[in-house]
Structures are given as structure tokens and as C-alpha cells.
Structure 1
Amino acid sequence: MTSTITMDDAEDAAKLIAFGMRPRQRPAKDRAYRDLVIKYRTESDFQRLVERTARGLGLKVLGATEDIGVALAALPNSVFETKIEDYVRLGKQRGEGERLLHGIIHLAVAALAFPRPDDLANDGYTGRVSVEAVDRAVRDTCDRLREKVAAAEAGEDTPTDSPELEKVWSAYTRRPEAALTKDGRLAMNSTKGMIARALNFLTDQGFLAVAGAGEDGWYRTTPRYQLQVRELAATSAFEELLALGIVPISSRGTLRTARQDSADRATDTAASDAADEGLFHV
């Protein structure tokens, strides 16, 4: 079959990818963007051209709709990839411990936003997260892990990975929940300060939208974030985090665990994998 791709199509493909690099831009407010999304969705040759062009740039097309536009993700080692160490460095923090803490936080946000496979698969589902909910969930998980480690050490069969597990998660509990700077802002070395930074970063990337006021206000997920988390859900880090029991807040304000029994298999893999993975991007 003869290809019908033209030089104009190649230019249009580049334009569509450029639109996708602006996460807050929407087709509803830009007719040129909307027309290119429609072309992508209705012309198979053009769709393949966009995807191959993106791949050559180190990007993956996750999807395209007239609502959110084209959603892109950086491939490993892409020039567009935001590495966790770069993210930590921008916050003027250093060290392996900081990378692990930020990795835990970003994974926890994703797991709380879409706690069940059905939620992640449902295009109409909107998740909600807050600084308080993320901090409470991770600290609750840390407490339960510490109890399991203590129980294992008291018995005859101490897991060989307990020291690493306890080291990674106790690093979170050693941090204060909240500390204020001289001008009254949350200190970035507190866990709530780190979570607030993560939620603001995801909002800037077009993955979350503010749904409430104040530092403990709620954020709602966007379809773009759902597409990104679907990619994340295929990684071992996300599976390990679910196994650790990171769970959503129920309507009565208590923590509920969908996979409590799986916590016995928890290791520090989730934190270290998260620190090595690139953060959500574009």
C-alpha cells in the first residue's frame, strides 16, 4: 500500500507533538490544536507518523483526545526525562535518602489517586489526594511495617531484608510532619512540605488540578495523569507500593487496606525503584 504521507503531514506531526509539550494547553481553546487531534484520531497513517516522530525524539504518545489533547511521556534516557535526582536538586536537597523519600511520595500519590485497578481503567474516574491524606497513609504504612519487622526479629525467622526495609521507611518517620520557615511557609525538609511540593509539581505538569483551598486542600486527578499512572502501574515499583498497603482514605476518614495480606512481601524495592525511575513528564 502506497503511503499518503506528505511534507505537510510531517510538519503537522511536529506541531501536534509541540502542543503536547505544553500540558496546560487544551484543544478546546485552540482550533489548530483541536484539528490536529482530530486528524490524529481519524487518519491512521498520520497517527503512525506522530508516534514514530515522537519515538525518535525520545517520547511516547500515551493517547490523544479532544478534551486533554495529546499526552506524552518521556522514554528512559530521553532528553525530556525528568530524573528524580534533578527534581531533588531543584529543591536544593541532596543525597540518596532524599531521592528515596521523594520516590516514596510520588508513588504514594499515584497509588492513593487510583487505589483499585477498576479506578485506573475507568476513563470517567477522578481521584482525589491531599497533603494530609498522603502523609497519613505513608506514616500508617511505616508504623505497620515497623511492627512487622519487630515481630519478625522477635521470632526465629528474621527476614534477611528487614534491615534495608526498616532503613528506607524509618527515614520517612524520622522527618517532622511539618516545620515552618521564617516567613511562615512549610519547610521543604518536612514530609508535608515535600508532599506539597510533589502535588504542586504534578499540578504544574497538568496532572492534577486544585480542588480545595489551603495547604491541606484536595487535588483532583486529570485524564492526563490517569494515562501516566497507567504507564507507572506496569512497573514493579508501583506493584510493590500497593503491596506495602498504601491505601486511600475512606468516607469515614479512616484508612482501609485492599491488599493488607500482601504487606508481608514488602521490601525496599518500591522506594529504590522510584528513585531510579524518571518522574512523570510532559
Structure 2
Amino acid sequence: MTEYAADEVPQPEPVPAPPGRGATAGAEPAAAPVTPADAADAARLVAFGLQPKLLPARDAEYAELLRRHRDDPAFARLADAVAAGLGLVVLEVSTRAGMAVTAAEDSVFAVRMGDYARRASADSADRFLHGLAHLAVAALAFPRPEDLADDGYIGRLTVNGVDAFVRQACRRLEERAAEDGENTDPATGAPGLEAAWRVYARRSATGATKDARRLAGSTTGIIAKAVTFLVDSGFLQRTGDDAGGTYRTTARYQLQVRDMAGGAAMSELLELGVVPVADGTGSLLPGEDTDALDLVADAGLPFHSP
């Protein structure tokens, strides 16, 4: 039998822990449990996102929660889950747009165009024109694909300019209908705008008052109502009173239009040739034959520099 000194007694080799028991080398530490305070902060961030006019640069708590969403993946997942549970779709979380959310169709926060139009007018033709006004504002604000793709792009528009844009589109549609020998409304199944232009073209731009005041049922009155709704929703900012009212787009509106840009009606508007998408020098064509378009004063289309 071998004898060892006290300090030379061999030590047994460590026995590896069975799979699934004990810590293993290189294992990720367990995630910290979600606390009520974390849930409250996540809900608070979503609440900030539901205030479309609130800018992160003007609220320190909002900015801090956005920073946490960026730097803490677990918190980001929690906040996104809170939004999803409320029926909200997160479009972007950034310092430029804040927590930009849009409501899914079944969300309690959804504002449907039909509901908006019914509040705006009881007349079915007016409701239709309100929808067309929103479509035209979006197409005019971001007329080129690169405008939507560029986070730094800011669209600018005027009420009278939107009216001029739509009436110019109506003129193109009228010409196209004449070339095709269509003297009546298109048959069922034809593109929506093809049937829409006649309704818009028949409506006065300002109303019938002697001083050309803008009436609510005129096309510029309808457009003004639409852009006011977009301002209240944090999508546009009013910048002046010229040409019926001047406006600039926000990052939140750019994200919203990106989400709807594939719609057939918007594609039709852009394909009419009123808004060129490839010349690289500006986004809009000058007005043509404006004397015949029933335009209000100073209704020229605003020019967008690239």
C-alpha cells in the first residue's frame, strides 16, 4: 500500500453534472423576472405613442423610455407585447417618430375612414370625397417612392394645391375616357378613380358665395377638413395660411403612408402622369390649362425639391 504525505494526497476528479442539472460553463444567466414596474413602464411608453402630437425631444420621460426600448431587448419585447394586446401595430420606435403605432382593424383605437366621413358629412357623395381628399393628400405629400424611403424627407402641401392636383387628375381621366369612347360612368369593376373623377369635377372648388368663401361642402372645404384631421392626428403640421393653408408632413405620417402605399387607388393617382416619379429635379408637374379647372386663386401645385 502506497503511503503519501498529508499534502500529497490526490484529490478526486470533479464529476460533471448530469444534463439538465446544475450550471454549465458558458450558459446565459437567467433573465430577470418582469416586475410590475417594468409592465407599468412598457404601458407608459405605449401611452406616449398614442399621443401623436407629443415629440420625444419635448418630454424627458418619453425619451428615456425610448432609450430603454432601444437598449433593453427584454423591455422592448414587453412594450411591443403590450401594444399588440391593445390591437396596435408598431410601425417604428425611434427618436424621430417616437413609438409610432397604428391601430389594427379590430382595435378599440381604430379610427375608420367611414366613421370619420360620417362625422364629417351626412351626404354619401361628401363622404366619398372626404376619402378621396385623404388619398390625394398622401399621394401629394410623398409622390415618389424615394420620398417614402428617405427618413429625412419632408413633404409640403397646400389645401389649394391638393385641389389643383385632384382636378388635374380629373382632367387626365376625362381625356382618357374620351379617348376610350366612354361618355358615361364606367361599368362595374372598373378602377375606383375612373368613376370618382366625375363626382369631384362637378363639385365647386369654393362654393357659391360672392366673396368665394370656402364652404364646407366645396372641394377645398372638404380638403381643409381632411388636413385638419391629419393635424389633430399628429400626421401633419400647419405652417402657414397661404393658398388655403400650408402644411408639412411628420415622420409618423411618412410611416403611415408607407403602410398604405401599395393600395390600388393611390397607385392609380400616381400613374396618371400628374406626378412624375423619375425626373430627379422635382416631384410635381406645373399646372396645365388651369383656366378650365375651376380652381381657386393661388391654386398652383406646390413644388417639392428633391
TM-score (norm 1): 0.79
Per-residue CA deviations over 1:98-148 (Å, capped at 9, x if unaligned) read 332122111111111111111111111111111111111111111111111
The equivalences for 1:1-282 within 5 A come to 2-4=30-32, 5-95=34-124, 97-153=125-181, 166-179=194-207, 186-214=214-242, 216-247=244-275, 254-255=286-287
2:150 is aligned with what amino acid?
N
Per-residue CA deviations over 1:23-61 (Å, capped at 9, x if unaligned) read 111222221111111111111121122112111111111
| Change beyond 3 A, Cα 1:183–1:19 | farther
Q: What is the CA distance between 1:244 and its match in structure 2?
A: 3.6
Q: Distance in 2 between matches of 1:184 and 1:230?
A: 36
1:190 is aligned with what amino acid?
S
Q: CA RMSD in A?
A: 3.0
Q: Distance in 2 between matches of 1:177 and 1:223?
A: 30
Q: Secondary structure at the match of 1:24?
A: coil
Q: Distance in 2 between matches of 1:13 and 1:181?
A: 53
Q: Distance in 2 between matches of 1:245 and 1:75?
A: 33
Q: Distance in 2 between matches of 1:252 and 1:17?
A: 37
TM-score (norm 2): 0.74
Per-residue CA deviations over 1:164-221 (Å, capped at 9, x if unaligned) read 7553210011110002779985211110000111111111111111122245232111
| Change beyond 3 A, Cα 1:245–1:59 | farther
Stretch of structure 1 that moved more, 10-19 or 60-69? 60-69
1:136 is aligned with what amino acid?
A
| Change beyond 3 A, Cα 1:251–1:77 | closer
Contact 2:275–2:284 at 8 Å: present in 1 too? no
Higher RCO structure, 1 or 2 (CA under 8 Å, sep 6+): 1
Q: Secondary structure at the match of 1:153?
A: coil
Listed as ranges, the gaps of 5+ residues in structure 1 are 257-282
Bigger-Rg structure (1/2): 2
2:248 is aligned with what amino acid?
R
| Change beyond 3 A, Cα 1:150–1:161 | farther
1:227 is aligned with what amino acid?
L
2:158 is aligned with what amino acid?
S
- Where is the helix percentage greater, Structure 1 or Structure 2? 1
Contact 2:205–2:218 at 8 Å: present in 1 too? yes
Listed as ranges, the gaps of 5+ residues in structure 2 are 1-27, 289-306
Contact 1:112–1:246 at 8 Å: present in 2 too? no
Q: Percent identity?
A: 46
| Change beyond 3 A, Cα 1:208–1:51 | same
When the two structures are aligned, how many residues end up with a matched partner?
A: 253
| Change beyond 3 A, Cα 1:142–1:161 | farther
1:202 is aligned with what amino acid?
L
| Change beyond 3 A, Cα 1:49–1:254 | same
